[in-house]
Chains A and B, each alone.
Chain A
């Protein structure tokens, strides 16, 4: 059995709407039979840190057991008016904004508890955002092993090479969690990540 450390916690971090919950849902559905949370097109859908205590993945004869920690997307700004565009009513948008601010604070506080982190980025977006740099900078400072997932490769604007150019020292795996594309490569990378713990 592949397990160097008991109670491994692997966090899924990234900016809002990069697909963290979609990926953790695929993993949980594949290996536990049930999803972890609700994913949607509206930013900050995940506003609480969500867990699945014991996920057991088997891949090429090896087993990895870990706790999945799906975190709210980290951002430097929250404007409730942005949610109105998605059809939310004003009160609902304001409540979402308030919950989202607390979610971001919780995400950051949880960083210290992670054994390894999967940074989930939207491969169709500019990778040079300060939030991405701040997240990865904090993981480097804490010596937490990192795997970068270039999600949404199904989109026309997806550009995994641009992400690889921005973060050449990291393992990067391009996937589409929505369409379950390249999940085998992702699981392979996840095992490699766990070996660094």
Chain B
């Protein structure tokens, strides 16, 4: 299931992790980047694996080099238990959860030109828009 909302010109694409679960790394990253290149902020339940995040950054950099006016992405993962756990514990739990298809986390990915910054600390997350 996916839906798009328009908030004062801001385009948000919400998708279920199940949409990309069966995809390989390359295809999954390509789908996310195609949405981001369409100036959408992508929000999905679940999270990418560490190597997928690295691949996303690699492919993003290749796009920055080739797509005019594309300056990259902002990426953040919100954990439901962010207040209590250290980054390491979240990563460790994250690795275990990924193996069983965890979708309790929320991933936000958007064009850097739209999202100025995603500020994240244990108490809050802020999406600063340009």
Query: Known contacts A76-B57, A76-B73, A141-B49; is A167 also within 8 Å of B64 by CB?
Result: no
Within 8 A of B (CB), among A119-152: 126-130, 132-134, 136-138, 140-141
In this complex, the interface size class of chain B, counting residues with CB under 8 Å from chain A, is 20 to 34
Name the residue on A nearest B92 (C-beta).
A140
Beta-carbon contact of A76 and B74 below 8 Å: yes
B-side interface mostly: helix
Name the segment of B2-10, B20-28, B117-125 touching the other chain.
B117-125
Per-residue contact bits, chain A 21-59, to B (CB 8 Å; 1 contact, 0 not): 000000000000000000000000000000000000000
Q: Is the CB of B121 within 8 A of A126?
A: yes
- Known A134-B57, A140-B95: A77·B87 in contact at CB below 8 Å: no
Q: Which residues in B have some Cβ–Cβ distance to A below 8 Å?
A: 49-51, 53-54, 57-58, 60-62, 64-65, 71-77, 86-89, 91-92, 94-95, 112, 118-122
30 contacts between A and B (CB under 8 A): A76-B57, A76-B112, A77-B64, A77-B112, A79-B112, A101-B61, A101-B62, A102-B61, A102-B65, A104-B58, A104-B61, A105-B61, A108-B54, A108-B57, A108-B58, A126-B120, A130-B76, A130-B120, A132-B87, A133-B87, A134-B50, A134-B53, A134-B57, A137-B53, A137-B91, A138-B51, A166-B86, A168-B88, A169-B86, A169-B89
